[in-house]
Amino acid sequence: MNQDHDDLEDADGRIDPGMWKGDQVPGDCSMVQPVDFRSITVITIIMVIACLALSAGCSKQGATAIEVQQHGAMRAVMRDGQTEARVGLVDVSSQGVIAVGALAGLEGEVTILDGKVWVARPDGDGVQISGPSASPSDQATLLTVASVARWDRVELTMEKSATGAELEALIEQTARDHGVDTTHPFPFVIDGVAERLEIHVINGFCPHATNPTSIDAEPWRWSTDEPRSARIVGFYAADAAGVLTHHGTAIHVHAIIEYDGRVLIGHIDGLTLKPGASLQLPAAD
């Protein structure tokens, strides 16, 4: 296990569950063109992604590609309400596993790093964080999963702060320059300082697919414009909108930060990353 991923836990590897409150910031669950995902299975989704990669051209010879599994499709879950349980978190919590997604029923967010499972659930006007052990009762309706035996750490070369499409392009270019086959989905971890960070924890419904005020299920949200160290956990997947990512982006990322001596976790809605950050990528076999 990469020791770099353990620095947000106490000496016993535990995360102290906490209640958090925060200001509201915009989310992003933008819709994509209608696709019928009802019959899509994990294997089918992997095949679809592989076909998309092949249509873009052959992979670089010798480039590193890693198997990524997808449980549930983004649009089917977020837009079409297919939020049934698809995978137990205890079944994907082995050493080396990295994953991001949402609980069954969209009852919260799931972040897994090095097999440690962290779950964030809205609770009133706050949020409850649990982990790093998975509860046998916790299941995900949407989960992107990979297993990484070893990580390589490289510098993200930045002359100025990066956000949005610029940051996505920087991740893709850096990964490609270091031998990752970016025509296939791949996991990554960024350690750096966010000069702006906006996160949410989903609360039963995608807030842009359904008016949350009409169902009394507002997502929990938190934001800061003050520089703060953050760990960004997620996946890059080109041409996979509606399956692995939201429409308009090639990444699905969650944040892990320390706040008032505890751990705070959520889905990233907005991020501006300062220069000096590092990027961890799957190492070549």
DSSP H or E run through 245: none
pTM beyond 0.85, yes or no: no
Give the angle subtended at the CA of 148 by the CAs of 285 and 55, to the nearest 5°: 75
CB atoms within 10 A of CB 145: 22
Task: Give yes or no for a contact between 17 and 129, defined as CB atoms under 8 angstroms apart.
Answer: yes
- Per-residue pLDDT tens digits for 100-128: 999 999 999 999 999 999 999 998 888 89
Query: How far, in whole angstroms, is CA 119 from its chain's centroid?
Result: 12
Q: Which residues does the chain have with pLDDT short of 50?
A: 1-3, 7-59
Domain boundaries, the chain: 3-282
Q: What is the pLDDT of residue 243?
A: 83
Identify residue 160 by its one-letter amino acid code: K
**Distance between CA atoms of 33 and 19, rounded to whole angstroms?**
37
- Per-residue pLDDT tens digits for 42-90: 444 444 444 444 444 444 555 767 899 999 998 889 888 899 999 999 9
| Class of 3-282 in CATH | alpha beta
Q: What is the pLDDT of residue 209?
A: 59
